Chains A and B, each alone.
Chain A
């Protein structure tokens, strides 16, 4: 059975950092939400800050998988574990952390597209 499309949250480190300097974040998120098989895509300023925790607690639903396009996956796993598991999500199957720092818009877009395919393939066995 085909799973529901995941949502995608892009985290931009407050939007004031050089990690995303090579990328047009608006072009990136607009292409992702319009062209890729996601349910939605949007930008959060700083997911690992306290209000990010509150946001995730409020927002996450156990029925929808989420991809977070931001910083290093091992760090995301640490930073978001509590919020995701509190929402009843499985870190392995419901969450896909992706590092899109230091990429151009096109590189980041391709990385998300490939990751979505990879995730879908995994989900469908």
Chain B
């Protein structure tokens, strides 16, 4: 399975995952079809698509957003996430 760290920091402390703008999403499900990491979950009820496993998302990957016609997928700002990673690594004593 997936490793639990990225750049020396526990993956679950890194807030990198897609965010779906439901006012734009048309449930074409192209994003879920593209991503092999079980980040998205397709459901019966509304909303029909959710980000079920954010920690499975590959840090700094934005590939699924490129499949999204209506531009409904966004990500956190990379520089912010990088800062957090560096700060966390220092906290952990440079492990």
Q: Which residues of A come within 8 Å of B, CB atoms?
A: 13-19, 21, 46, 48-49, 71-72, 75, 78-79, 101-102
With an 8 Å Cβ cutoff, the count of chain B residues facing the other chain is 19
Residue-wise, chain B 19-43 has the 8 Å CB interface mask toward A (1 for contact) of 0000000000000001011100000
Q: Is the CB of B63 within 8 A of A18?
A: no
Majority-rule SS of B interface residues: loop
Decide: A19 near B37, CB < 8 A? Known: A14-B6, A14-B61, A79-B66: yes
Q: Which residue of B lies closest to A70 (CB)?
A: B63
27 sample A-B contacts, Cβ–Cβ < 8 Å, listed by A number: A13-B37, A13-B61, A14-B58, A14-B59, A14-B60, A14-B61, A16-B6, A16-B59, A17-B2, A17-B36, A17-B56, A18-B1, A19-B37, A21-B2, A46-B60, A46-B61, A48-B63, A49-B60, A49-B61, A71-B36, A71-B63, A75-B34, A75-B63, A75-B66, A75-B67, A78-B66, A79-B66
